[in-house]
Structure 1
Amino acid sequence: MVKQERAARTRRSLIRAAAEVFADEGYVPASLTMISRRAGVSNGALHFHFTSKEALAKAVEEEAAQEVRLITERCRLAGAVGLQLLVDATHTLMRSLDDDVVVRAGFELSGDISRPHGINLRREWRRWVESEVERAASDGGLADGVAPDDVASALMAATVGFEVLGARDDREWISRRTLTRFWELMLPAMAPRQAIGTLVTCGSCHSAMGGEAGVEEPV
């Protein structure tokens, strides 16, 4: 049991170290030696758990993908629906990109053209956004004349743009403030007039899910 626990800890350390290296350096420049040093283990210990850099990348992607799926599910379980669910999920995703290097590395790997067969988190996120926008439209949650495809495209362009800029340039791009301002601009164009006053641009489940303290006001 002790050996199994130690092996599990080593594996988790290697995944996190790989995520840090992939997020900082990119997939191609990263090496197993860099990862083993970051994890504080020998190359032999690394190879016991992972046969290659690609195997490590897949483990990082799988863990990141699981966390992104949990993000959307947690927001749904908190009671958010329609556009509010999209608001809440984008806030939680941006916070995860800021706080969780595994999620950040998973998205970084998704944009690496040298790995066309990996788990593409951006594609998975797009599918979820498109399905939720369609659901909102069918439930009357979009303003008259607003096309679901246009809403999904705008949201994907913004969130992926924030993710890329936040990872490489300035974390302010993935801050709560930036995303709140985006939703303040976009929701009046997307939502039915009678629903606008009920939508919380800073995220209705933000405080309950470990976000920054603050007063949450409707749009």
Structure 2
Amino acid sequence: MVKQERAARTREALVRAAAEVFFEEGYVAASVAAISRRAGLTPGALHFHFENKTALATAVEHRAADALRRLTGACGVDDPLEALVESTYELMDLLTRDVVVRAGFALSVDASYRSRVALRRQWGRWVGESLVAAHRAGRLADGVSPQDAARVVLASTVGLEVLGVAEPDWAAPDTLARIWALLLPRIAADGHQKTDRLV
């Protein structure tokens, strides 16, 4: 049991170290030596747990995808539009504090790496499904297409994700609140959304 726990801790350290190196240097420039050094392990220990750099990148993406699934599945709000709003804040928070999620999103669009997960597509599907559910529940304003609303929300959140890499204020709750303050009067059936998040 102790051996299994130690192996799990080692794998976790390697995934986190790989995420940091992939995010800072990109997939091509990241080396197994740099990842093992960051984890405080030898390259041999890394290869015992992961066959190569691609296997590590895949593990990072899968961990990020799991985190995104947990986020979108655990909102606990019955109103699909309110759940969407809350989830955008949770996503920005997750991208700010979790390097594995940040690196997973970066890997999913890294031209030098063949992504197996496509996190932005996963997020986009969930946004689209949420807005279709909001439409069915009568939560969208007359004339608002769930598909058009999904494009706007997806473009806004992905834009904040990308801009937030260089300037963290882009991913701050206040920035997102201002975007929702502009969007919700246009897309919500009642012209606004009851949420404590809005400024």
TM-score (norm 1): 0.87
Query: What percentage of residue pairs aligned between the two structures are identical?
Result: 52
Alignment check: 8 A CA contact 1:17 1:39 kept: yes
State the match for 1:48 in structure 2.
Answer: 48
CA distance in 1 between partners of 2:114 and 2:13 (Å): 26
State the match for 1:200 in structure 2.
Answer: 195
State the match for 2:173 in structure 1.
Answer: 176
- What does 1:18-29 correspond to in 2, within 5 Å? 18-29=18-29
State the match for 2:147 in structure 1.
Answer: 149
CA distance in 1 between partners of 2:52 and 2:79 (Å): 42
State the match for 2:107 in structure 1.
Answer: 109
**Does residue 137 of structure 2 align to residue 163 of structure 1?**
no
Offset, 1:52: 0.6
CA distance in 2 between partners of 1:3 and 1:201 (Å): 47
Unmatched 5+ residue regions in structure 2? none
**2:10 is aligned with what amino acid?**
T
Offset, 1:87: 0.4
CA distance in 2 between partners of 1:119 and 1:31 (Å): 21
CA distance in 1 between partners of 2:196 and 2:150 (Å): 17
Offset, 1:79: 2.1
Alignment check: 8 A CA contact 1:17 1:35 kept: yes
CA distance in 2 between partners of 1:117 and 1:94 (Å): 21
Q: Deviations over 1:86-124 (max 9, x none)?
A: 100000000000000010000000111222342100010
Q: Deviations over 1:17-47 (max 9, x none)?
A: 0001111111111010010000000000000
SS at match of 1:26: helix
**1:106 is aligned with what amino acid?**
G
SS at match of 1:192: coil
SS at match of 1:158: helix
**2:57 is aligned with what amino acid?**
A
Runs of 4+ in 1 over 3 A off after TM superposition: none
TM-score (norm 2): 0.96
Q: Deviations over 1:132-181 (max 9, x none)?
A: 111111111100011111100000110001001112x1111111111111
From the superposition, tell whether residues 16 and 97 of structure 1 become closer, same or farther in structure 2 (CA, over 3 Å).
same
Q: Deviations over 1:169-199 (max 9, x none)?
A: 1111111111111101110000012x62x52
**2:21 is aligned with what amino acid?**
V
Alignment check: 8 A CA contact 2:108 2:115 kept: no
- What does 1:1-219 correspond to in 2, within 5 Å? 1-75=1-75, 78-167=76-165, 169-193=166-190, 196=192, 198-200=193-195, 202=197
Unmatched 5+ residue regions in structure 1? 203-216
